[in-house]
């Protein structure tokens, strides 16, 4: 699948390149639209669209009457892209870091509502593991893991986990295709154990169990 790049996108890339190369410092004002258009050999509206694209990526900001200004020296990391490129093992290790710490904190901070979440999501997961289609099982599994991270009551950790979810989901789909025996579905006990440790307010145990579970997953794919 080849992809043609419109002039406006090429112009945006060129501007981004120049910003990265230090041609314009942070906070600097770019030349006027007509000047830029002449420099790059394109029309003014093309430059406007390029600037608008970089504005969407929070690199440029234009102010009517004043000019276009650099507000970041590089595009914010496109996490979905980073994670797509990353090795599955790398992603799993990132998840391991987040969920282990999440389980540890959850053991100290879990509320009655969190425990209720555990009951629901674990029951769902058990049913799904028994006879549901793959995608149901995947969603049920993810729901429990998310419940654990949520119980840590840390917005950053939750956000990190959510960022990982699409990538985890794809990895699980691939794993399930290669696994005729449905071996992985049998680790319901490991999930119950994590929930038990959090319920018992034992941070170290919860962290250890989360770590062991995810380490086992990592071993099974590598």
Interacting residues with a copy of itself (CB under 8 A): 4, 6, 8, 12, 45, 48-49, 52-58, 64, 76-80, 82-83, 85-87, 90-91, 93-94, 96-98, 100-102, 105, 152, 154-157, 159-160, 162-163
Report residue 34 as tokens.
């007509």
100 binds, options a copy of itself, DNA, none, Cβ within 5 to 8 A by partner type: a copy of itself
Contact region with DNA (CB under 7 A), list: 3-11, 116-124, 161-169, 205-213: 3-11
Residue carrying the six token digits 């060129």: 14
Residue of the chain from 12, 15, 19, 42 that contacts DNA (CB under 7 A): 42
CB neighbours (10 Å) of residue 197?
Answer: 22
The angle, 0 to 180 degrees and rounded to 10, between the axes of the packed helices 88-109 and 134-150 is 50
Three state DSSP letters for 140-207: HHHHHHHHHHHCCCCHHHHHHHHHHHHHHHHHHHHHHHCCCCCHHHHCHHHHHHHHHHHHCCCHHHHH
Task: Rule CB under 7 A: say whether 34 interacts with DNA.
Answer: yes
DSSP-derived letter for residue 21 is T
User: Residue 110 in contact with residue 183, Cβ under 8 Å?
Assistant: no
Beta pairing partners, 159: none
Task: Rule CB under 7 A: say whether 48 interacts with DNA.
Answer: yes
User: Residue 50 in contact with residue 3, Cβ under 8 Å?
Assistant: no
Residue of the chain from 13, 14, 44, 134 that contacts DNA (CB under 7 A): 44
Contact region with DNA (CB under 7 A), list: 4-12, 16-24, 153-161, 173-181: 4-12
Contact region with DNA (CB under 7 A), list: 25-33, 139-147, 182-190, 198-206: 25-33
Report the residue number, 75 or 190, with the smaller CB distance to a copy of itself: 75
Report the residue number, 48 or 109, with the smaller CB distance to DNA: 48
Task: Rule CB under 7 A: say whether 13 interacts with DNA.
Answer: no
Report residue 186 as tokens.
């049998």
Task: Rule CB under 7 A: say whether 74 interacts with DNA.
Answer: no
Binding site for DNA (CB under 7 A): 4, 6-8, 30-35, 37, 41-46, 48-49, 51, 62-68
């Amino acid at each position: 699948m080849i992809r043609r790049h419109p002039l406006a996108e090429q112009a945006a890339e060129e501007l981004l390149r120049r910003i990265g190369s230090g041609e314009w410092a942070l906070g600097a004002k770019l030349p006027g639209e007509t000047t830029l258009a002449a420099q790059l050999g394109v029309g003014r509206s093309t430059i406007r669209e390029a600037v608008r694209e970089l504005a969407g990526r929070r690199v440029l900001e234009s102010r009517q009457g004043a000019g276009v200004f650099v507000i970041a020296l590089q595009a914010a990391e496109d996490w979905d892209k980073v994670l797509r490129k990353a090795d599955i093992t790398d992603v799993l290790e990132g998840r391991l870091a987040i969920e282990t710490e999440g389980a540890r904190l959850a053991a100290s901070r879990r509320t009655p509502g969190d425990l209720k979440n555990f009951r629901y999501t674990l029951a769902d997961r058990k049913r799904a593991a028994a006879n549901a289609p793959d995608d149901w099982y995947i969603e049920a599994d993810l729901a429990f893991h998310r419940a654990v991270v949520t119980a840590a009551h840390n917005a950053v950790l939750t956000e990190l986990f959510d960022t990982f979810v699409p990538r985890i989901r794809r990895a699980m789909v691939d794993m399930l295709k290669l696994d005729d025996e449905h071996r992985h579905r049998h680790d319901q006990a490991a999930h119950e154990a994590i929930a038990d440790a959090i319920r018992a307010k034992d941070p170290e145990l919860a962290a250890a169990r989360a770590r062991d579970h995810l380490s086992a997953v990592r071993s099974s794919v590598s």
